[in-house]
Amino acid sequence: MKYRKINESYKPSILAFGCMRMPIIDGKYGDIDEPKAIEMIRYALDNGINYIDTAYPYHEGNSEALVGKALKDGYREKAILVTKNPVWKVEKYEDFEFYLDEQLEKLGVDYVDIYLLHALGEERFDKINDLGCFKFLDEMIEKGKIKEAAFSFHDKKEVFPKILDAYNWTLAMIQMNYKDIDEQSTVEAISYAESKGVPIAIMEPLKGGQLANLPESITDIWDDGKDMSTVERALRWAANFKNVKTILSGMSTLDQMKQNIEIADRLEADIISDEEAKKYLEVKDAIEARIKVSCTDCKYCMPCPVGVNIPGNFMNYNKAFMYEDTAMASHTYQVKFKEEQRANACIECGKCEPQCPQGIKIIERLKEVDAFLNKPYELNQDHWEL
């Protein structure tokens, strides 16, 4: 495993474990398969991954407690433990520490190594700035409840410098992959943060898994003689930036983790040639021509009050185009999804849309999903999944 230095205290593994897509039971996001998830976290820590990232809302509020269980029996000492304050729930200054204390209790620890203000955009940042978020961070560092202060970002690129310049951050976490180089904070954010001496952590390097499984008509674009998986291509691109100190992967199985750990041994900065970089742009363009909804399956929109599986609908809809298989997507929608999970169960309450980091018009796009997938279909023998 390779490591990159954040500061004198912390040197994270280039591959980090993001605990937002852990194994679950019966497709229920909040019902974590504890034995499998604990096995994965401990395997990570025993095999070179030291950066364990969770957050207040992950797995419908159950991720932190699971991580806490996994870090018992001596594993806490192996981990750079990272979690995030649910700033959207903060209404007064005291709420910042209230939620931190709740998180420390769930995790079963006295302190968090890196504590992020979660999913900041301009409006959310202005709100918590007025409530005294920087005073809170300074006080928590002084009390020893957190060691380092950071933030995660979801907004237009013009907003990133405003937040970065507002405080002496240890780290900034941004969404970044070769598909998203023109969205949110963009590649420019990595360079700007480097000019200010702020290291970067990357989330969604595989764009919620979308870059891990691409049709052959797209992967043929590479045609460079390299025997490299689409997963390695994506991680290689993220690691190419020297100011990127760790790359979060939301791994869901132990096999995925083993594969990614093996790949991590080959990740280096400044190794992608100009010619290879052009190939990434060609692949990006080909993908953009297929993907219909820019959902990353982050699940910030969940849970839906009536049970609609919002990201599940969008992921399934995108697959119909990415894999050129409308029949399988229609079958999944009509048969595998429960009635209350389908897009047509939406009551248009609107609670989900303000939470979406991608700014998706969820209500409108769910109608589009239903109109496309709620039609007769015919499966063939290639649908081995059945």
Which amino acid would we find at residue 296? T
Residue 187 CB neighbours (<10 A): 15
Torsion, Cα 215 216 220 225, to 10 degrees, reads 110
Q: Which pLDDT value is given to residue 216?
A: 86
Which amino acid would we find at residue 155? D
Residues 315 and 246 in one domain: no
Residues 103 and 161 in one domain: yes
CA distance 324 to 43: 36
Residue 150 CA: distances (Å) to CA of 162, 296, 379: 14, 22, 49
Residue 254: its H or E element: helix 254-264
Tokens of 329: 């997507």
Residues 218 and 331 in one domain: no
Structural domain includes residue 5: no
pLDDT > 70? residue 200: yes
Structural domain includes residue 208: yes
pLDDT > 50? residue 383: no
Report helix angle 133-143 to 122-130, nearest 10: 70
Name the DSSP class of 184: T
Handedness of CA 95, 100, 101, 102 (dihedral sign): positive
pTM score? 0.82
Sorting pLDDT into bands at 50, 70 and 90, what band is 223? confident
Distance between terminal CA atoms of the chain? 38
CA distance 380 to 375: 16
CA distance 10 to 305: 40
Residue 239 CA: distances (Å) to CA of 172, 211, 221, 243: 16, 15, 21, 9
Q: Which pLDDT value is given to residue 363?
A: 98
Domain end, chosen from 230, 255, 288, is at 288
Q: Which pLDDT value is given to residue 211?
A: 85
Residues 230 and 353 in one domain: no
Residues 52 and 124 in one domain: yes
Q: In total, how many domains does the chain have? A: 2
Sorting pLDDT into bands at 50, 70 and 90, what band is 384? very low
Residue 222: φ, ψ to 5°? -60, -60
Q: Which pLDDT value is given to residue 213?
A: 77
Sorting pLDDT into bands at 50, 70 and 90, what band is 268? very high
Residues 79 and 108 in one domain: yes
Q: Give residue 372's domain range.
A: 292-386
Structural domain includes residue 6: no
Sorting pLDDT into bands at 50, 70 and 90, what band is 313? very high
Residues 370 and 257 in one domain: no
Of 118-127, 192-201, 207-216, the poorest mean pLDDT is in: 207-216
Tokens of 199: 């290291």
Residues 228 and 267 in one domain: yes
Give me the residues paired with residue 219 across strands: none
Of 41-50, 136-145, 206-215, the poorest mean pLDDT is in: 206-215
Dump strand ranges (E) for the chain. 15-18, 24-25, 28-32, 51-53, 80-85, 112-120, 146-153, 171-175, 200-203, 244-249
**Helices (H) and strands (E) in the chain — how many of each?**
15, 10
Which amino acid would we find at residue 48? G
Domain end, chosen from 258, 288, 318, is at 288
pLDDT digits (tens, 9 = 90+) for 238-255: 999 999 999 999 999 999
Spatial contact of 46 and 34, defined as CB atoms under 8 Å apart: no
Spatial contact of 118 and 84, defined as CB atoms under 8 Å apart: yes
Which amino acid would we find at residue 42? R
Q: Which pLDDT value is given to residue 166?
A: 98
Q: Which pLDDT value is given to residue 385?
A: 37
Q: Where does residue 85 fall: left (phi above 0), alpha (psi -120 to 50 degrees), or beta otherwise?
A: beta
Residues 215 and 155 in one domain: yes
Sorting pLDDT into bands at 50, 70 and 90, what band is 380? low
Q: What is the mean pLDDT of residues 6-30?
A: 94
Q: Are strands 80-85 and 200-203 parallel, antiparallel or unpaired?
A: unpaired
Residues 107 and 163 in one domain: yes
Q: Which pLDDT value is given to residue 381?
A: 41
For 139-156, the DSSP string reads HHHHHTSEEEEEEEE-S-
Of the candidates 266, 315, 275, the residue with the CA atom closest to the CA atom of residue 295: 315
Residues 226 and 360 in one domain: no
Handedness of CA 194, 182, 204, 114 (dihedral sign): positive
User: Which residue did the predictor score with more confidence, 290 or 238?
Assistant: 238
Residues 26 and 148 in one domain: yes
